């Protein structure tokens, strides 16, 4: 499959290569945290790509680079779990924007409850999207195309080996699958799709972009990036600004922390993360352009979990979400939860999604 990559790379990303390797990027395998940290702090080629820094840009970047080496419970590059030779159920995970393979482990309690211990989970993984690379390096150049090619390669290899694959897409990861699904040779394998934390196909820029960009933003490879805060009181403005979830199910109690699941760093006493609406909008457009050029709606059995208080939708009412889903899914079942984008994926919700088939 990889021999065809040059034929289907979109013109928008057919620019001079901006791969991290052009920056003398060290290999991640075997490298120490200190060596990689020194690279981000002192490599002149890397640092020269930042443009238009604001008042506190340097402070925020320093804290963010430190966070790449935090201890994390799920935000890591562990790309498979279980025995691929003896499993009775096989799963393939496609993370969303700035997601990582390790996030699939958050769903393990629900999968084990339903299917037992003899399961195999494999995730989409490329070194270009490692959890130890800054987000802006992940979405440079031709990496989106490499991501799609890897999905095709992984699913064709798994389809030749297993009678059934349950494909789990998270948030915008669905659109990576949408752009590739018609090119995948199933080899008689049954594919079942799950879309958790379903995301819109068009995203509006929040009014806070200008505010935080003016404080800590910068430009990288033509995209505006800035850090935005997460704090519980900010949920009044956007439900996605929470830092934790107090989970209760029957007699069980637990607190889930967002910085274990997603990229977050501490600065000035608050949790922050970097985002770029320029980058996200281009990423969605690139996948949708690829889908419209050679794809068709997804006909396989599909199960969707959507949040009715999702801060990434301009309007997260079920009837609005349904209109988006109808464009891409032929055979779908949707579960709506009255919560935010991330916290829809609690154990009992995932169990409801996979059990009611």
Q: pLDDT tier at 142 (50, 70, 90 boundaries)?
A: confident
Q: pLDDT tier at 28 (50, 70, 90 boundaries)?
A: low
List the one residue out of 37, 6, 48 whose CA is nearest residue 142: 6
Query: How far apart, in Å, do the first and last CA atoms of the chain sit?
Result: 33
pLDDT on residue 274: 97
Q: Please give the tally of structural domains in the chain.
A: 1
Q: Find the mean pLDDT for residues 219-223.
A: 93
How confident is the prediction for the chain on average, in pLDDT? 90
Name the pTM for this structure: 0.91
Give the position of tokens 């948030």.
Answer: 171
pLDDT on residue 341: 96
Domain hosting 236: range is 1-357
Of the two residues 276 and 29, the one the predictor is more confident about is 276
Q: Find the mean pLDDT for residues 104-128.
A: 97
Of the two residues 239 and 165, the one the predictor is more confident about is 165
CATH number at residue 176: 3.40.50.1820
Rounded Cα–Cα distance for residues 309 and 315 (Å): 9
């Amino acid at each position: 499959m990889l021999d065809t990559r040059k034929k289907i790379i979109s013109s928008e990303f057919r620019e001079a290569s901006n791969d991290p390797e052009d920056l003398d990027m060290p290999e991640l395998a075997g490298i120490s945290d200190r060596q990689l940290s020194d690279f981000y702090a002192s490599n002149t080629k890397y640092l020269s790509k930042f443009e238009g820094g604001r008042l506190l840009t340097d402070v925020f970047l320093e804290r963010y680079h430190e966070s790449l080496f935090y201890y994390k419970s799920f935000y890591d590059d562990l790309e498979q779990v279980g025995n691929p030779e003896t499993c009775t159920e096989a799963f393939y995970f496609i993370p969303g924007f700035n997601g990582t393979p390790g996030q699939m482990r958050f769903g393990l309690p629900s999968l084990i409850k339903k299917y037992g211990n003899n399961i195999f989970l494999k995730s989409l993984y490329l070194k270009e999207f490692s959890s130890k690379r800054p987000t802006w390096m992940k979405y440079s150049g031709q990496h989106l195309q490499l991501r799609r090619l890897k999905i095709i390669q992984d699913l064709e290899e798994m389809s030749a080996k297993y009678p059934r694959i349950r494909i789990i897409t998270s948030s915008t990861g669905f659109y990576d699958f949408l752009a590739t699904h018609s090119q995948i040779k199933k080899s008689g394998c049954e594919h079942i799709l799950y879309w958790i934390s379903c995301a819109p196909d068009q995203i509006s820029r929040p009014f806070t972009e200008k505010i935080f960009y003016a404080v800590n933003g910068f430009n990288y490879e033509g995209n505006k990036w800035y850090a935005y805060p997460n704090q519980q009181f900010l949920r009044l403005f956007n439900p996605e600004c929470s830092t934790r979830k107090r989970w209760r199910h029957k007699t069980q109690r637990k607190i889930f922390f967002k910085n274990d699941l997603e990229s977050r760093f501490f600065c000035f006493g608050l949790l922050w993360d970097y985002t770029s609406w320029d980058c996200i909008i281009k990423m969605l457009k690139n996948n949708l352009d690829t889908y419209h050029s050679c794809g068709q709606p997804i006909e396989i059995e599909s199960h969707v979990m959507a949040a009715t208080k999702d801060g990434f939708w301009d309007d997260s009412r079920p009837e609005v979400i349904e209109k988006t889903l109808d464009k891409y899914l032929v055979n779908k079942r949707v579960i709506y939860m009255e919560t935010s984008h991330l916290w829809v994926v609690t154990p009992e919700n995932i169990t409801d999604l996979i059990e009611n088939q």
